[in-house]
Amino acid sequence: MKKAIKNGKLILKDRVLEGYDLILEEGKIQSVCPSEESKTEDGCIYDVKGSYVMPGIVDIHSDMIESYIQPRSTAVMDFEMGLKEAEKVLVGCGITTMFHSISMFREGTWDVKAIRQAPQVKRLAELVARYRHEERLIRHRYHLRYEIDNLACYEQVKEMIQKGYVDLLSFMDHTPGQGQYKNLDIYRKHQPNEGRDMTEEEFAALVKSEFEKETSTFDQLKELAEMAKECGISVASHDDDTLEKLQINKRLGVAISEFPITMEVAKAAKLKGFKTVVGAPNILLGGSHSGNLSALEAIREGAADVLVSDYYPQSLLQAVFQLYETEGIPVWEAVGYVTLAPAEAVGLADCIGSLEEGKEADILVVKSQGGHPCLEKVFVAGECIMECHYRKAD
């Protein structure tokens, strides 16, 4: 049965189109046609009364699932229940494709809570791989964040790639004194109890131990990157802080630079052909919570391609409308940071990420109210899976 979304402001790749209808059939966008030519007498009509119509959000980096599975350090909930509950929230954020991004830390790391241990990481990856073929609300994918000092799990990462459990692979290095933790004061604040339980000598010993630890070699990372490429999986780096790292990542076959630390590195990454990723929470907070690159400044300087939610999925749609309403960025350009650009980064732009004929009908209907987005409808594969009816105050 055909469906028509009428009377909306369609946000295309390069403009907003009014006076046109979006025709959906068999889960895909059949056509974008002038309203007077739209024929859906035997179908279903959604009159969106002037609201924006945009592609569903594609989030390629978010660890929000961790809090749904392990809400407390000693409380690990049922994995499948956690995934099902999390996707209800994701729908309400306008996210129709989610890359659950879980870190695989080595045993003994201070931040290795249960959900980040190798057996649990693999278990969740297996669940996501299975769940995408079952009854669900949104499209689920898996982003494996491999901490490069986790040598014990190197073979497991290879196995997960070969078995099809990984949809995006990133290399992470949280060694203090570089990357995200170039500033050791920030590193200390990320320790349990913000490092207040450690003496200066104990903290210095921790930094020394972490700095001297063994990590995966270039050849090992190259092997993983090539294996991923053979499987059609994009590879990302994390927290690039020097031009030298970009050169190394280029040789490895990395295509995405997540959260570059400085403007210089972000601009250089763009020039070298990397897709650069910044966080939407960074925009809402007015800067990085780790004291690093401002996402808004990166966008202003043309040094960012993709916005991700990182840890707060509610931030994506809000950031899009802040860029549009406050920064004066064209709405189609702001929307592109969370739709087409991330889809391109992970090789999915042929099927999702824009309102084009033949693509999957993953669609949001959004109205702007006081500069804030109000999500009214969410479609995935042409099915309206959520409707919000905002009532007037009493």
Low-confidence residues of the chain, pLDDT below 50? none
Q: pLDDT at position 74, please?
A: 84
Instruction: Report yes or no: 287 and 279 within 8 Å, Cβ to Cβ.
Output: no
Instruction: Report yes or no: 118 and 147 within 8 Å, Cβ to Cβ.
Output: no
Q: Which two tokens stand for residue 292?
A: 């690093």
Q: Which residues contact 36 (CB under 8 A, 6 or more apart)?
A: none
Over the stretch 248-283, which tens digit does the pLDDT of each residue have? 999 999 999 999 999 999 999 999 999 999 999 999
- End-to-end alpha carbon distance in the chain: 39
| Model pTM score | 0.92
Q: pLDDT at position 95, please?
A: 98
Domains, the chain, in order of start with CATH, read: 3-54+355-387 (2.30.40.10), 57-175+213-345 (3.20.20.140)
Task: For residue 73, count other CB atoms closer than 10 A to its CB.
Answer: 9
Q: pLDDT at position 38, please?
A: 73
